[in-house]
Chain A
Amino acid sequence: QKEVEQNSGPLSVPEGAIASLNCTYSDRVSQSFFWYRQYSGKSPELIMSIYSNGDKEDGRFTAQLNKASQYVSLLIRDSQPSDSATYLCAVNMIGGSQGNLIFGKGTKLSVKP
């Protein structure tokens, strides 16, 4: 069964710290990986995409991909209270029954002032 696993949290970090969010996936041939942010009462918003092993940085966000270990992570540097949200990991899985992406259930992040 094709799965994407995330720790549900909540993950609590102090303002200014680095928040580290992790995601593992079951399909070795997955090629595309995405992170979404979902504020309470809002719809998911795409914040990062990564396709190759290694790190990809965008402002305070860094996505890290390790295909051999089948995990992808999101680092948020200098965390702000406005980063408090649920973060969803999404992975493409060929032949999946849910279209091109499988979503994890999300990790809730709380950044304390």
Chain B
Amino acid sequence: GAGVSQSPSNKVTEKGKDVELRCDPISGHTALYWYRQSLGQGLEFLIYFQGNSAPDKSGLPSDRFSAERTGGSVSTLTIQRTQQEDSAVYLCASSLWEGREGQPQHFGDGTRLSIL
């Protein structure tokens, strides 16, 4: 497909379990972003990747959260030992990267994570 693809669309798991969320960006987009959005709230930045540069992890809320991007394409966000406060929609976005000029980000449909 032409858009950002995220999987799974919904994930329900028990507290304490690990989860992996996947994002497949738009082909040719070198920048990839993860956000979290709780019900009725704004976007909370988590992490972004740009090309081969070291990712900016400044938004990760704790060391239970990690992300990787293999081969400059698909990214996986991992949450270890999940807590109920991790319940949210996790959104992935991708964009071109043109230096000083900002490029629009294009979002996937998100993964709705529910921790029981």
Residues of A in contact with B (beta carbons under 8 Å apart)? 30-32, 34, 42-46, 49, 51, 88, 90-94, 97-101, 103-106
Nearest residue (CB) in A for B100 is A94
Which of B56, B100, B105, B108 is within 8 Å of A101, CB to CB?
B105
CB neighbours (8 Å) of A103 from chain B are 42-43, 45
17 A-B residue pairings within 8 Å (CB atoms): A31-B100, A43-B91, A43-B109, A44-B91, A49-B104, A90-B104, A92-B102, A93-B102, A99-B45, A99-B48, A100-B102, A101-B102, A101-B105, A103-B43, A103-B45, A104-B42, A106-B42
Q: How large is the interface on B (under 10, 10 to 19, 20 to 34, 35 or more residues)?
A: 20 to 34
| Other contacts beyond A91-B102, A98-B45, A101-B95: 17, CB < 8 A | A32-B102, A34-B102, A43-B91, A43-B109, A44-B91, A44-B107, A49-B104, A92-B103, A93-B102, A94-B100, A97-B56, A97-B58, A98-B56, A99-B45, A99-B50, A100-B103, A105-B41
Determine whether B11 belongs to the interface, using a CB cutoff of 8 Å to chain A.
Answer: no
User: How far is A83 from B76 in the complex, measured between Cα atoms in Å?
Assistant: 34
Which of B101, B108, B109 is within 8 Å of A92, CB to CB?
B101
CB distance B42 to A100 under 8 Å?
Answer: no
Nearest residue (CB) in B for A35 is B104
Determine whether B106 belongs to the interface, using a CB cutoff of 8 Å to chain A.
Answer: yes
CB distance A105 to B107 under 8 Å?
Answer: no
How far is the CB of A20 from the nearest CB of chain B, in Å? 20
For window 42-64 of B, CB contacts with A under 8 Å fall at: 42-43, 45, 48, 50, 56, 58-59
